[in-house]
């Protein structure tokens, strides 16, 4: 089955700097890669996703890139703000009827 590795496990950045979180997946047939943000005590919320037919997607300060050949995808947050502090999870959907598999998460701290 699908296996998703996520790095780093913790990340601290100064406010205004950029943050990058990287994930790799094992199933070359995987075709959908969402990123979730989970604030303390709250449910995971989708912040951006990408499908295997595109290489990059942007939404304001957030972007995701996908390299299908290398089987890795990354989350980029620019101009970080204190409210970006949270745990971020990458995930992958394999081909066929397989459920979402999550990475272990990255705890991002934005220091004002």
The residues that touch another protein, with contacts defined as CB under 8 A, are 31-32, 34, 42-46, 49, 89, 91, 93, 96-105
Task: Provide the CA 51 distance to its chain's centre, in angstroms.
Answer: 13
C-alpha pair distances (Å), 53 with each of 19, 31, 33, 57, 68: 25, 8, 11, 11, 9
Report, in Å, the least distance between residue 93 CB and another protein: 5
Cis peptide before 77 (omega within 30 of 0): no
Q: Provide Rg for the chain, Cα atoms.
A: 13
Nearer to another protein, 46 or 54 (CB): 46
Nearer to another protein, 14 or 43 (CB): 43
Report, in Å, the least distance between residue 16 CB and another protein: 27
Nearer to another protein, 63 or 78 (CB): 63
């Amino acid at each position: 089955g699908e296996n998703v590795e996520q790095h780093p496990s913790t990340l601290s950045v100064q406010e205004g700097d950029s943050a990058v979180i990287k994930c790799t997946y094992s199933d070359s047939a995987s075709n959908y890669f969402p990123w979730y943000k989970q604030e303390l005590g709250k449910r995971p919320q989708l912040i951006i996703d990408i499908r295997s037919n595109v290489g990059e997607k942007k939404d304001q300060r957030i972007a995701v890139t996908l390299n299908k050949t290398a089987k890795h995808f990354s989350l980029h947050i620019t101009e970080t703000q204190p409210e970006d502090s949270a745990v971020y999870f990458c995930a992958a959907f394999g081909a066929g009827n397989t459920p979402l598999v999550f990475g272990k998460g990255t705890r991002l701290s934005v220091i004002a």
